[in-house]
């Protein structure tokens, strides 16, 4: 292991809480692959702080099952990466963006994305509750994969909202992400959906893209035109995004409030400010609001699954605006001032609520010097088929 000073000089972007670049590799399908792990996923002997001052001295006793699977497959665990505290955020403000200086790295798995973008890891594990793997992938020009809910164990993670939490993978290319996902998904034949056809029916939302920046809408339409050369574009009626977003907020806050409810006042005061502010709102979610949020989540899952009767995959921009400045708290979209959190999760949180697998993929057009990111989703348990479909689309996306 390199010394602390050496680690800091190599990690110029502040991606890591603890950097172990000389960790040993094993034998197996991931032999030698360098894997960074978000600091809310347990890695034996390394910090397990979830970004909270309260847990600053905490280390993990054992590996989370996902980490153990990767070790058993030969991967090298090269450290744990910074996160918005507790997952309460989408910008990881203490981490710089290696791919776009001055722009947010995204979050809350921002350290994981920065580690890969800086070349310090080949892939990284993150957690995704409203888009926290796909958003930083979009902000750094990387690939970000969120599985079907429950396909990859979240045991050994510090939770944010157990109904919405997923472990996902960020990588520079689809090949390394797919290899890593293949190990994590295991070989449950009953869970795996059949392959998707080679000529894809690509479902898009029929509704106007008024929630997206004009440049995002224009770029997305250009991507659709390129894909239409070989595939069929199918306009569909997606679930109402505003209703789903409100329910996502209530569900997340209510479940997060229960996780932190046992803290003493002194312990609560040692949480990061962003977490304290969010948790102060948890008490506003009434039991009836929570029941309504769970109902909407179930209806959303059913509605999204129904869309796959007419489409093989669903496609949207990953984020609704060009990648914001690192210190931005609000962005302007079509003359409206929108919070950065709202702008970045507006398209991604749908598939946390529905539980469907989704992958953020870079494409050839650029905005703010970064590849334009598109989000591809597939039916439940079609995780491998989703990655295959993304691979089939990649040549057209690259232009």
Mind listing the pLDDT tens digit for each residue in 50-67?
999 999 999 999 999 999
119: region left, alpha or beta (phi > 0 left; psi from -120 to 50 alpha): left
225 inside domain: no
Report d(CA 388, CA 385) in Å as an integer.
5
Q: Is the dihedral of CA 120, 125, 127, 133 positive or negative?
A: positive
162 occurs within a structural domain: yes
Number of domains in the chain: 1
Instruction: Provide the CATH number for the domain around residue 148.
Output: 3.90.1300.10
| Alpha-carbon 166 to chain mean position | 8
Residue 308 lies in a domain: no
pLDDT digits (tens, 9 = 90+) for 274-331: 999 999 999 999 999 999 999 999 999 999 999 999 999 999 999 999 999 999 999 9
Region at 256 (left for phi over 0; alpha for psi -120 to 50; beta for the rest):
alpha
Q: What is the mean pLDDT of residues 357-386?
A: 96
Known active-site residue 230: no
212 lies in some domain: no
| 112 close to 136: Cβ distance less than 8 angstroms | yes
Is residue 391 annotated as a catalytic residue, yes or no? no
d(CA 154, CA 152) in angstroms, rounded, equals 6
Q: Which position among 96, 109, 112, 132 bears the catalytic label?
A: 132
Name residue 377's beta-bridge partners.
Answer: 314, 358
Q: Is the pTM of this model over 0.85?
A: yes
CA distance 271 to 249: 20
User: Any idea which residue has 């595939």 for tokens?
Assistant: 231
Say if 237 falls within a structural domain: no
* Tokens at 116, concatenated: 């890969």
Give a yes or no: residue 219 inside a domain: no
pLDDT of residue 4 exceeding 60: no
What's the CA angle centered on 135, arms 142 and 72, to 5 degrees?
A: 60
Active-site entry in 96, 108, 112, 161: 108
| Of the candidate ranges 2-11, 91-100, 217-226, 229-238, the one whose mean pLDDT is the lowest | 2-11
- Does the residue 206 lie in any domain? no
Q: Is the pLDDT of residue 92 over 70?
A: yes
Exposed (0-12), middle (13-18) or buried (19+): which is 119, by Cβ within 10 Å?
A: exposed
Residue 302: active-site member: no
CB 177 within 8 A of CB 145: yes
Looking at the chain, list the stretches that DSSP marks H as alpha helix, in order from N- to C-terminal side: 4-10, 65-72, 110-117, 134-140, 174-185, 214-227, 241-260, 265-268, 273-279, 287-307, 340-345, 350-354, 383-398
Is residue 355 a part of any domain in this protein? yes
Residue from 38, 96, 112, 163 carrying the catalytic annotation:
38
What digits encode the pLDDT tens for the residues 163-186? 999 999 999 999 999 999 999 999
Domain that holds residue 166: 1-196+313-399
Residues with Cβ < 8 Å from 8, sequence gap 6 or more?
A: none
**pLDDT value at 255 more than 60:** yes
Q: Residue 179 — φ and ψ, nearest 5°?
A: -60, -45
């Amino acid at each position: 292991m390199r010394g602390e000073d050496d680690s800091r000089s190599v990690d110029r972007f502040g991606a890591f809480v603890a950097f172990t670049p000389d960790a040993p590799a094993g034998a197996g399908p991931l032999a030698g692959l360098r894997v960074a792990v978000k600091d809310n996923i347990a890695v034996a002997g390394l910090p397990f702080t979830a970004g909270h001052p309260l847990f600053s001295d905490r280390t993990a006793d054992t590996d989370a099952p996902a980490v153990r699977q990767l070790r058993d497959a030969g991967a090298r665990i090269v450290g744990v990466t910074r996160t918005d505290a507790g997952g309460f955020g989408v910008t990881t403000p203490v981490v710089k963006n290696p791919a776009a200086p001055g722009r947010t790295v995204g979050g809350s798995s921002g350290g994981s994305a920065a580690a890969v973008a800086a070349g310090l890891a080949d892939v990284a594990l993150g957690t995704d509750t409203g888009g926290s793997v796909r958003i930083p992938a979009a902000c750094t020009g990387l690939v970000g994969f969120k599985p079907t809910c429950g396909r990859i164990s979240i045991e050994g993670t510090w939770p944010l909202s157990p109904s919405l939490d997923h472990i996902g993978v960020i990588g520079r290319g689809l090949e390394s992400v797919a290899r890593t996902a293949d190990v994590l998904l295991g070989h449950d034949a009953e869970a795996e959906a059949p392959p998707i056809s080679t000529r894809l029916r690509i479902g898009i939302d029929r509704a106007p893209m008024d929630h997206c920046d004009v440049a995002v809408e224009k770029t997305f339409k250009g991507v659709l035109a390129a894909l239409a050369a070989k595939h069929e574009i199918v306009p569909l009626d997606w679930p109402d995004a505003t209703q789903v977003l409100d329910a996502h907020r209530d569900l997340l806050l209510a479940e997060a409030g229960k996780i932190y409810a046992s803290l003493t006042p002194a312990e609560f005061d040692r949480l990061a400010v962003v977490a304290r502010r969010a948790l102060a709102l948890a008490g506003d979610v009434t039991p009836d609001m929570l029941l309504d949020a769970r109902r909407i989540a179930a209806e959303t899952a059913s509605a999204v699954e129904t869309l796959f009767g007419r489409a093989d995959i669903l496609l949207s921009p990953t984020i609704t605006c060009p990648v914001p400045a690192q210190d931005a708290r609000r962005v302007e979209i079509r003359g409206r001032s929108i919070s950065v959190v709202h702008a970045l999760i507006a398209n991604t949180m749908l598939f946390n609520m529905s539980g469907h697998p989704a992958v953020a993929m870079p494409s050839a057009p650029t905005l703010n010097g970064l590849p334009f990111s598109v989000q591809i989703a597939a039916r439940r348990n079609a995780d491998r088929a989703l990655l295959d479909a993304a691979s089939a689309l990649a040549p057209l996306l690259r232009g």
